[in-house]
């Protein structure tokens, strides 16, 4: 049946006294919002830009580029194509139908459609293609989905998955035991090329690493039972499990610290921080010796004494299942600790935020998000592959002391652009080649990803772009091996966000962005 017939049938079904009003031809409803002259002018400008793309590089083009990016997204969605494919992919992934998901993802890839960052974040979580504690990769079909998601992201977003033209090394091709065969001409044993685990520095005596796990097991973490309440820390915010967004099975408490809660070593007793780039992972680097082993120990002591909170999303769907199996302690850090942290890394971090594909970015670096999530991973615990979301600056209201998810003044908004991971323990506590932070990048072969693992070093900070920032990286907190434990702090590096709206993420940032009053999801 043709479109016209359908319309006629609908009109006939309307009871008689009702007649659809037909606007007179000169009524405002029939005129377009766009002036024909403006339209012609816009078309001319766009044609010129297509012919001379170098004209796009000027600063004055920022606004135009942002609008074009948004328009392109709206057009893809308006066609129904983007939307329906997006939901087909989401449903297939959440039902673990990875082969179906691959077909839809491939369609999205070939049609150059642009999913929102929120969809990308959700998809990588759904893939659940995490590696095992023995270092072997997860479901190979899920890994192929992940590879394709990265390639789609590379086209449409700023997610970092530049396809490397270098020749892949021979090391680290990890076989997938259950799929060690050829399916559809694809050698399933090579879906992921795991590069050798990388360490920013070889361990030496000089590191004076403190093996915290040994102390816990030998009951020597505290000489006497720790005082309660724990000195220097106080609860500043509490959310009941059901009120958490998304709802959780456990309550969450934020503990604020007072200056001096963690005793910082004097400068003559500490090594000078140094920066080492993570090889083959563009944008990721490690700053060594930001914290001394004693400082790391004090942080773990505080968390162990006050208590870890479990984190498990309420609700059974795949999307809701917990993406963090580690326990956590949420710490709102004090100004003096933050000052030490920030001044130690400042010389090494990007001084201004990169400009995203939609024209956002460019703000100056301004500080570190005071809201620290301290994680404790025990044997086999992990944080599935994900792309971290961006966050505003958490803090306390200067007068009322109330906890604010977003504490910057309205006229000086800050927004995070980089993830900071502080490793509180290392080699001595975490079995070899496990418990790493692992980055996934597509190789030069479709369907094959490279995994680059960074080994935790006590007191070092790993920094890499996140959210909608150019070069955002897909990564996981890889499982901790047998008998091990890993302690790490996750926080964010903040940049000026003026011009992006009041604490709103850039427009192209999708739904489950960390910056909303939501926790957990989106990292």
Ligand X SMILES: O=C(O)CCC(=O)C(=O)O
Residues 6+ apart with CB under 8 A from 467: 117, 387, 388, 389, 390, 416, 417, 505, 509, 513, 514, 515
Of 121 and 437, nearer to ligand X (C-beta) is: 437
The answer to the question of residue 392 lying near Fe ion (CB under 5 A) is: no
Q: Interface with Fe ion includes 514 (CB under 5 A)?
A: no
Length of the chain, in residues:
523
Pick from 435, 335, 441, 334: nearest CA to 375? 435
Quickly tell me which residue has 């962005």 as its tokens. 513
User: What's the sign of the alpha-carbon dihedral 223, 226, 231, 235?
Assistant: positive
Give the nearer residue to ligand X in terms of CB position, either 113 or 120. 120
Please write down the HEC assignment for all residues of 448-469: CEEEEEECCCCCCEEEEECCCC
Query: Of 377 and 403, which has the nearer Cβ to ligand X?
Result: 377
Residue in the structure block whose two tokens are 């901790």: 480
Nearer to ligand X, 388 or 429 (CB): 388
Least Cβ distance, residue 523 to ligand X (angstroms)? 4
Indicate the residue among 261 and 421 with the shorter CB distance to Fe ion. Answer: 421
421 binds, among ligand X, Fe ion, none (CB under 5 to 8 A by kind): ligand X
Instruction: Give the phi and the psi of residue 448 in degrees, each rounded to 5.
Output: -125, 125
Q: Which residue number has the CB closest to ligand X?
A: 477
List residues binding ligand X (CB under 6 A): 383, 388, 419, 421, 437, 475, 477, 488, 490, 523
Rounded CA gap, 470 and 353, in Å? 9
CB nearer to ligand X: give 236 or 474. 474
Q: Could you tell me the smallest distance in angstroms from the CB atom of residue 34 to ligand X? A: 44
Structure tokens at 282: 């563009």
Burial tier of 175 (Cβ tally within 10 Å: 0-12, 13-18, 19+): middle
**Residues contacting Fe ion: total by CB under 5 A:** 2
Taking the complex as a whole, the smallest distance from the CB of residue 386 to Fe ion amounts, in Å, to 6
Measure the CA–CA gap between 479 and 129, rounded to whole angstroms.
Answer: 12
* Pick 82 or 523: Cβ nearer Fe ion: 523
Closest contact distance (angstroms) between CB of 113 and ligand X is 27
Residue 437 interface partner, choices ligand X, Fe ion, none, CB cut-off 5-8 Å depending on type: ligand X
Using the contact rule CB under 5 A, the part of the chain among 6-14, 120-128, 300-308, 385-393 near Fe ion is: 385-393
Q: Give which of ligand X, Fe ion, none residue 353 binds (C-beta under 5 to 8 Å, depending on kind).
A: none
- Tell me the two tokens of residue 298: 């004090």
CA–CA separation, 309 vs 373, rounded Å? 11
- Judged by beta carbon, residue 370 or residue 473, the one nearer Fe ion is 473
What does residue 365 show for φ and ψ, rounded to 5 degrees? -70, 140
8 A C-beta contact, residue 474 and residue 150: yes
Residue in 139, 289, 388, 427 binding Fe ion, rule: CB under 5 A: 388
Smallest separation (angstroms) from Fe ion to the CB of 159: 13
492 binds Fe ion (CB under 5 A): no
- Whichever of 193 and 490 has its CB closer to ligand X, that residue is 490
Q: Considering only the stretches 13-21, 79-87, 383-391, 493-501, report the one whose residues sit in contact with Fe ion under the rule CB under 5 A.
A: 383-391
Closest distance of CB 145 from ligand X, Å:
20
For 17, which DSSP code? T
- Which window, 49-57, 386-394, 425-433, 438-446, contacts Fe ion (CB under 5 A)? 386-394
Residue 348 phi, psi dihedral angles, 5° rounding: -105, -15
Question: Do the beta carbons of residue 231 and residue 261 sit within 8 Å?
Answer: yes
- Tell whether residue 523 is a contact of Fe ion (CB under 5 A): yes
Instruction: Work out what residue 488 binds among ligand X, Fe ion, none; the CB cut-off runs from 5 to 8 Å by kind.
Output: ligand X
Q: How far is the CB of 302 from ligand X (least distance, A)?
A: 19
Among ligand X, Fe ion, none, residue 160 binds (CB under 5-8 Å by kind):
none
If one asks whether residue 520 binds Fe ion (CB under 5 A), the answer comes out as: no
Q: Which is nearer to Fe ion, 413 or 523 (CB)?
A: 523
- Closest distance between ligand X and the C-beta of residue 459, in Å? 15
- 214 touches 485 (CB < 8 A): no
Ordered DSSP codes for 301-369: HHHHHH--B---BSS-STTTS-SB-SEEEEEE--HHHHHHHHHHHGGGS-SBPPPPTTS---PBEEEE-
3-class secondary structure, 485: strand
Which residues of the chain form contacts with Fe ion (CB under 5 A)?
388, 523
């Amino acid at each position: 049946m043709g479109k016209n017939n359908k319309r006629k049938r609908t009109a006939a079904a309307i009871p008689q006294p009702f007649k659809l009003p037909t606007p007179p031809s000169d009524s405002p409803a029939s005129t377009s919002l766009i002036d024909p002259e403006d339209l012609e002018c816009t078309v001319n400008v766009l044609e010129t830009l297509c012919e001379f793309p170098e004209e796009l590089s000027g600063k004055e083009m920022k606004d135009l580029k942002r609008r074009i990016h948004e328009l392109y997204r709206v057009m893809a969605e308006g066609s129904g194509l983007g939307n329906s494919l997006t939901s087909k992919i989401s449903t297939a992934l959440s039902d673990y139908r990875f082969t179906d998901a691959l077909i839809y993802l491939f369609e999205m890839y070939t049609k150059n459609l642009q999913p929102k960052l929120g969809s990308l974040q959700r998809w990588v979580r759904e893939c659940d293609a995490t590696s095992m504690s023995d270092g072997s990769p997860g479901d190979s079909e899920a890994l192929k989905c992940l590879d394709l998601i990265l390639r789609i992201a590379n086209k449409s977003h700023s997610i970092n998955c530049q396809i490397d033209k270098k020749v892949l090394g021979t090391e680290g091709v990890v076989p997938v035991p259950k799929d060690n065969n050829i399916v559809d001409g694809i050698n399933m044993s090579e879906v992921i090329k795991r590069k050798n685990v990388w360490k920013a520095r070889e361990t030496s005596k000089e590191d004076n690493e403190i093996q915290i796990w040994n102390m816990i097991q030998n009951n020597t973490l505290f000489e006497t039972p720790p005082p309660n309440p724990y000195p220097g820390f106080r609860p500043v915010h509490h959310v009941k499990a059901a009120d958490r967004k998304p709802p959780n099975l456990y309550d969450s408490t934020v503990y604020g610290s007072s200056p001096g809660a963690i005793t910082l070593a004097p400068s003559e007793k500490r090594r000078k921080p140094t920066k080492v780039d993570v090889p083959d992972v563009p944008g990721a680097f490690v700053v060594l010796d930001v914290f001394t082993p004693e400082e790391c120990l004090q942080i773990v002591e505080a968390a162990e004494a006050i208590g870890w909170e479990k984190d498990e999303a309420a609700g059974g769907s795949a999307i809701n299942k917990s993406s963090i199996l580690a326990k956590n302690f949420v710490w709102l850090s004090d100004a003096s600790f933050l000052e030490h942290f920030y001044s130690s890394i400042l010389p090494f971090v990007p001084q201004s935020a990169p400009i995203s594909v939609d024209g956002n970015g460019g703000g100056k670096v301004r500080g570190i998000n005071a809201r620290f999530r301290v994680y404790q991973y025990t044997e086999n615990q992990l944080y599935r592959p994900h792309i971290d979301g961006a966050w505003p600056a958490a803090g306390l209201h200067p007068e009322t002391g109330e906890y604010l998810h977003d504490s910057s003044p309205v006229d000086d908004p800050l927004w995070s652009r980089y993830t900071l991971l502080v490793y509180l323990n290392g080699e001595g506590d975490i079995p070899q080649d496990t418990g790493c932070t692992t980055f996934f990048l597509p190789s030069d072969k479709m369907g094959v990803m490279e995994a680059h693992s960074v080994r935790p070093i006590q007191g070092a900070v790993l920094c890499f772009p996140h959210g909608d920032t150019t070069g955002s990286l897909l990564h996981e907190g890889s499982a901790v091996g047998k008998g091990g434990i890993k302690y790490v702090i996750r926080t964010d590096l903040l940049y000026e966000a003026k011009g992006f709206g009041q604490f709103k993420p850039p427009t192209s940032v999708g739904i489950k962005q960390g910056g909303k009053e939501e926790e957990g999801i989106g990292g």
